[in-house]
Amino acid sequence: MDIPSATAPRAEPGEPHLQWPFFDASHRALALRVSEWASAQTIDHADTDAACREWVQRLGHAGLLQYCVPKMWGGALEQIDSRSVCILREHLAMQDGLADFSLAMQGIGSGPLTLAGSDALRHEWLPKVANGQAIAAFALTEPDAGSDAAAISSSATRVHNGWEISGTKTWISNGGIADFYCVFARSDAASRGAKGVSAFFVPANTPGLTVVERLNVMAPHPLATLRFDRCTVPETFMLGEEGDGFKLAMRTLDIFRMSVAAAATGFARRALRETLSQANSRAMFGSSLGAQPLAQAMIGDMATELDSAALLTYRAAWFRDTQEGRVTTVAAMAKLAATELAQRIIDRAVQLHGGKGVRTGETVERLYREIRALRIYEGASEVQRLLVGRETLRAQF
């Protein structure tokens, strides 16, 4: 059983990083709102699926999922505001990884539908995503196409009443509990790489769609391998233009990639706060842990790295919200730096907790498990490094 601590710290109105120029008053108000709300929630995680469904319902009821879709389809703001999504993810992650996951997947899972679905589909489904009545999933990865996502081989074949989709998708978050999947498949059988891929909206009850296997991971959340066996969807369930599916997947990830960095920042911020409490309360050598110079140095590194992660995260979100131009590089920098730095911060937090740090059920032990997958999904650190490196060479600055 994994119940988040009721003593989780809340954002204070004057929380220093919220005074950074990336934010306006509405962002600070949202931080306070989500922080107060999240610290009042406790959900039993014994059944991961049930816990996830419960989080989606509660987040929907609280109006927080509205930040995952535009106002026109039941959302809070005219457009998805990356700073708001990042603030939500950071503060939910501080409280509970599954709460953060539940909100994030509503956004990523419905992203292709928001960006390119027909008006009829958007009107039917996006308000349900925003109020927690429908659970969304994003199905790109395949057994032989992970980091090399353009190597997908699932097929979409035109038939008289629409498209027939076949193939296997794996590592699909919300797999098994989602109400719909945004699925990427090759609509041009002769194509290779990013070209010839299209995106489709596939309701979970489509005949031929089955869960092959549920995947258990170190920080549990619903995850599955899915089989699409000649699943037929109408022509109008294609998202965007034929052949534009890969671009749509990348556009979706561009919107949400820096929010992975925000979640990492939230895990790391919680780890630092737990460490400060430990440093002040743990008696040692006639004084406290916090009085030891080496512990002070470690905490100094943690605080510096946390601000570095947060600065890059909110720089990327601010850039996407307010500036013209491609966000890919700044989002990749944020994801790379924040997830790697958060891993180090949390590792130091475990170290400074001593034996307690590795004890099952301790907050820092949970954070140590929660952070790990973030360096792998939505583009592993190596992929982000390559991306930033290539763009930097191209820019020649």
Query: Interface residues with ligand FAD (CB under 6 A)?
Result: 138-141, 146-147, 171-173, 217, 223, 373, 376-378, 380, 382-383, 386
Contacts of residue 183, defined as CB under 8 A and 6 or more positions apart, other chains included, come to 139, 154, 165, 169, 199, 200, 201, 202, 228
| Long-range interactions of 144-153: CB distance < 8 A, separation 24+ | 146/171, 147/379, 147/380, 147/382, 147/383, 149/246, 149/249, 150/193, 150/194, 150/197, 150/246, 151/193, 152/184, 152/185, 152/186, 152/197, 153/186
Shortest spacing between CB 333 and ligand FAD, in angstroms: 17
Shortest spacing between CB 166 and ligand FAD, in angstroms: 17
Residue of 54, 365, 370, 378 with catalytic role: 378
Nearer to ligand FAD, 171 or 246 (CB): 171
Nearer to ligand FAD, 332 or 373 (CB): 373
| Both structure tokens of 368 | 């140590």
Nearer to ligand FAD, 98 or 352 (CB): 98
Shortest spacing between CB 366 and ligand FAD, in angstroms: 15
Whose CB is nearest to ligand FAD? 146
276, 102 contact by CB (below 8 A): no
Nearer to ligand FAD, 184 or 318 (CB): 184
Shortest spacing between CB 322 and ligand FAD, in angstroms: 28
CA distance 140 to 262: 22
Contacts of residue 362, defined as CB under 8 A and 6 or more positions apart, other chains included, come to 353, 356
| Both structure tokens of 356 | 């307690």
Q: Which CA distances in Å does 2 have to 5, 47, 310, 356?
A: 9, 10, 27, 16
Backbone angles phi, psi at 353, to 5 degrees: -85, -5
Nearer to ligand FAD, 30 or 338 (CB): 338
| Both structure tokens of 49 | 């699926």
3-state secondary structure of 159: strand
Nearer to ligand FAD, 303 or 386 (CB): 386
CA distance 76 to 82: 13
Amino acid at 213: E
Shortest spacing between CB 371 and ligand FAD, in angstroms: 12
Amino acid at 74: G
Nearer to ligand FAD, 232 or 381 (CB): 381
CA distance 109 to 180: 8
Shortest spacing between CB 284 and ligand FAD, in angstroms: 37
Q: Is 378 a residue of the active site? A: yes
Contacts of residue 223, defined as CB under 8 A and 6 or more positions apart, other chains included, come to 171, 172, 173, 175, 214, 215, 216, 217
| Both structure tokens of 284 | 């040692």
Shortest spacing between CB 139 and ligand FAD, in angstroms: 6
Shortest spacing between CB 254 and ligand FAD, in angstroms: 15
Q: What angle do CA 259, 261, 264 make, to 5 degrees?
A: 115
202: left (phi over 0), alpha (psi -120 to 50) or beta: beta
Nearer to ligand FAD, 189 or 217 (CB): 217
Q: State the catalytic residues.
A: 378
